[in-house]
Amino acid sequence: MFLRMSSEEFDRASVVKEVVEGRLTQRRAAELISRSERQVRRMVRRYRSEGPGGLAHRARGRPSSRRISEEARSQATALMHEEAYRDYGPTLLSEALMQLKGVKLSNETVRRLMIAEGRWDPRKAKAHPRQWRERKACFGEMVQMDTSIHNWFEARGETAVLIAIIDDATSRLFCRFFSTDSTATNMACLCEYIRAYGLPRSLYVDRASHFVTTRQASIDEQLSGKPAQTQIQRALAELKIEHITAYSPQAKGRVERCFGTLQDRLVKGMRQAGIATIDEANAYLEQVFLPMWNEQFTCEPRDKVDAHRSPAGYDLDAIFSHQDTRYVCDDYTFSYDSHKCQIEQRSVAAGLRRSRVTIEERLDGTRKVRWRGRYLRWHVLPESSRNKAAKKKRKPEPAAGGVKTRSKPAPDHPWRRRCLPKRNKDGAA
């Protein structure tokens, strides 16, 4: 007959045996096994009556009183094998099990059941070589912003990208779906966030082309002493928001980990709701997903002060626009987007001629012209027929028979001069 005992129980039995055989005192035995003398006396009684097996744990070999019922086990197993929940993880499956079946199981219990059924591959944690950074203290002190390009609608409809802004102190999330990842869409998302929460103190982003530029500074930027900036960098500077760039995805790990959760939970939630368009997805975000996220996944900041600044006094429509400058001619015209534009007489003022105006391409599609803090009235001039004819490309007419003719070099063409004999100062060959 074999007796199952742990190494601690085996060591304890050897010490109690010495006490029973009279080679060790109970006080010394209590010191050796870190127990009280009263416990040692109880162990001695059990050893004398039952032998070494009396020191084994009494619950060994018995079913646990806290084990899950067979009904709950079968319901969890059936749900994980359903087609609609084939790619659910342990955490999300435990939540679905509670909502659909009313069965409450912990994430670890569901994970063990999924491993036993072959529906989950246990992963070993990897060593993290980077240094941990503490969260910011206040809500709005720093936000992280990034874009996730993913198959969000699972080929049910439109192609979309998700632009997310997450607070570093609380993990409060704000995100929107857009058709593309561009300067305009990032501006639109950031503008909506500011209207909802206020101006954050700093923005932590990657080095994408709409956040960081590699071009040389223009003449106007050099004269004003400013470095080359993207449109978003210019807008952040006007709003006095600190622009922080990350040199690796791991540096802005909070928003990267956020996308890992969104690509799991959000995709499956929109699948259950049958969402296939960007408008429907944004409505689902606003009404269902973001309230759930901000209630379940956020944490309390160390400091209760809201660090956001009020956007009052800032023209957000003007700041979040694509801005460019143009030179005003003597006739109060300027060229933009291959068109000649005329500044109207009622907007003409001293100093406007031969100065520069700012063109604002706003997010709503409108175009504004600004000069010295005020907006000018202007209109596009009609294009004359002479200019239209000049812009047309004339193709050479083919010769008879469809064979193209070659142009003859001019008499003073360099090619001809190379072929002529050299002459002296008198003109003789």
> Which pLDDT tens digit goes with each residue over 82-124?
888 888 888 888 888 888 888 888 888 888 888 888 888 887 6
What are the DSSP calls for 241-282, one per residue?
Answer: -EEEE-SSGGGGHHHHHHHHHHHHHHHHHHHHHT--SHHHHH
Q: Is residue 219 part of a domain?
A: yes
Please tell me the predicted confidence (pLDDT) of residue 385: 44
Please tell me the predicted confidence (pLDDT) of residue 417: 63
- In a shared domain, residues 202 and 251: yes
Radius of gyration for the alpha carbons in the chain, expressed in angstroms and rounded: 38
Tokens of 59: 């619950």
Q: What are phi and psi for residue 116, nearest 5 degrees?
A: -65, -35
- In a shared domain, residues 278 and 329: no
Residues 44-51, mean pLDDT to the nearest whole number:
88
User: What CATH number corresponds to the domain at position 185?
Assistant: 3.30.420.10
- In a shared domain, residues 47 and 176: no
Q: Is residue 418 part of a domain?
A: no
**Cα gap 90→78, rounded to integer Å:** 14
**Domain range holding 28?**
7-55
Lowest mean pLDDT among 108-122, 148-162, 363-377: 108-122
- In tens, the pLDDT along 271-329 reads 999 999 999 999 999 999 999 999 999 999 999 999 999 999 999 999 999 999 999 99
DSSP 44: H
Task: Give how far Cα 60 sits from Cα of 39, 55, 63, 148, 217, Å.
Answer: 20, 11, 8, 51, 76
Lowest mean pLDDT among 23-27, 344-348, 361-365: 23-27
Please tell me the predicted confidence (pLDDT) of residue 350: 92
- In a shared domain, residues 258 and 337: no
User: How many domains, in total, are found in the chain?
Assistant: 4
Q: Which residues contact 173 (CB under 8 A, 6 or more apart)?
A: 164, 165, 166, 167, 258, 290, 293, 294, 297, 298
- In a shared domain, residues 76 and 43: no
What predicted TM-score, i.e. pTM, was given to this entire model?
Answer: 0.69
DSSP 406: P
- In a shared domain, residues 101 and 43: no
Strongest mean pLDDT among 52-66, 142-156, 247-261: 142-156
Please tell me the predicted confidence (pLDDT) of residue 386: 42
- In a shared domain, residues 167 and 285: yes
- In a shared domain, residues 174 and 278: yes
- In a shared domain, residues 149 and 291: yes
- In a shared domain, residues 284 and 151: yes
Please tell me the predicted confidence (pLDDT) of residue 86: 82
Q: Is residue 128 part of a domain?
A: no
- In a shared domain, residues 95 and 195: no
What are the DSSP calls for 179-190, one per residue?
Answer: SS-SHHHHHHHH
- In tens, the pLDDT along 401-427 reads 555 556 777 777 777 665 555 555 555
Q: Is residue 273 part of a domain?
A: yes
Tokens of 75: 């319901």
Tokens of 271: 């699948």
Cβ atoms 211, 205 nearer than 8 A:
yes
Q: Is residue 30 part of a domain?
A: yes
Q: Is residue 416 part of a domain?
A: no
What are the DSSP calls for 284-311, one per residue?
Answer: HIIIIIHHHHHHHT----SS--B-PBP-
Q: Is residue 236 part of a domain?
A: yes
Side-by-side strand order, sheet with 333-336: 333-336, 339-343, 378-380
- In a shared domain, residues 104 and 35: no
* Averaged confidence pLDDT in the chain: 86
